[in-house]
């Protein structure tokens, strides 16, 4: 998969894309990430990418031309989504990440300031995505969340594919609780069923825990 991040702050991604599972996946060629700065497509000497909104108002708006030129400079693979990170977008869910992982190319525009010229939304973007009902200083954090969530779903990123099937939001439920050594810590014990070696009972306990945890924490999922 090819992922193109169109961002005013490419340095934001340097450390995050070099470590953990995502860093190893990129090193192995499971996915590739390319950074494009819209300022490179705005004329010198100022390389301006924002301007005041028509009709007045507070703040600045990202202009059409640098964003269009930045995206048009990229190669086009057979299946491609052009994503804008914005609070107005579709909520990012595990189901959406699975859909995005089937594309050959993701182009992610990182919004800033008061947003982008509406013509970018209407004529360039194919999908708008939001992390939730809140506002951040820019679209880099949501973009990184998309990259992380998608790359971990690609074959070869996660060592045990089964672990992708036994986590939160699979089958519409949250994940069951986990325990490891020591068996007793400050008087808090590991549930006995997990030490029994009885795989059927353990599976039943975990499924019960998933349902109860979902009922208590995210009843909207049931």
Is there a contact between 60 and 54 (Cβ–Cβ < 8 Å)? no
Tell me how crowded residue 189 is: count the other CB atoms within 10 A of its CB. 11
Residue 30 has pLDDT above 80, yes or no: yes
Q: Which domains does the chain have, with CATH numbers?
A: 2-151 (3.40.1280.10), 166-221 (1.10.1270.20)
Average model confidence (pLDDT) for the chain? 94
d(CA 58, CA 92): 28
pTM: 0.89
* Residue pLDDT, tens place only, 144-189: 999 999 999 999 998 756 566 666 677 889 999 999 999 999 999 9
């Amino acid at each position: 998969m090819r992922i193109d991040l169109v961002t005013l702050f490419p340095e934001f991604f340097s450390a995050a894309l070099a470590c953990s599972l995502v860093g190893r996946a990129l090193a192995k060629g499971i996915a590739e990430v390319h950074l494009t700065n819209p300022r490179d497509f705005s004329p010198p000497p100022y390389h301006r990418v924002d301007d005041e909104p028509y009709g007045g108002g507070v703040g600045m708006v990202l202009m059409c031309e640098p964003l269009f030129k930045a995206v048009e400079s990229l190669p086009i693979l057979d299946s491609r989504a052009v994503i804008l990170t914005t609070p107005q977008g579709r909520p990012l869910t595990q189901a959406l990440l699975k859909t995005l992982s089937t594309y050959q190319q993701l182009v992610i525009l990182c919004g800033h300031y008061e947003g982008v010229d509406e013509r970018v939304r209407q004529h360039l973007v194919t999908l708008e995505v939001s992390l939730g009902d809140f506002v951040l200083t820019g679209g880099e954090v949501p973009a990184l969340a998309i990259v992380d969530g998608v790359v971990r779903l690609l074959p070869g990123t996660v060592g045990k594919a089964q672990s992708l099937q036994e986590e939160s939001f699979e089958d519409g439920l949250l994940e069951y609780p986990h325990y490891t050594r020591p068996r007793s810590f400050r008087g808090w014990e590991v549930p006995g069923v997990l030490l029994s070696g009885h795989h059927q009972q353990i599976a039943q306990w975990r499924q019960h825990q998933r349902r109860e945890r979902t009922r208590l924490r995210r009843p909207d999922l049931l």
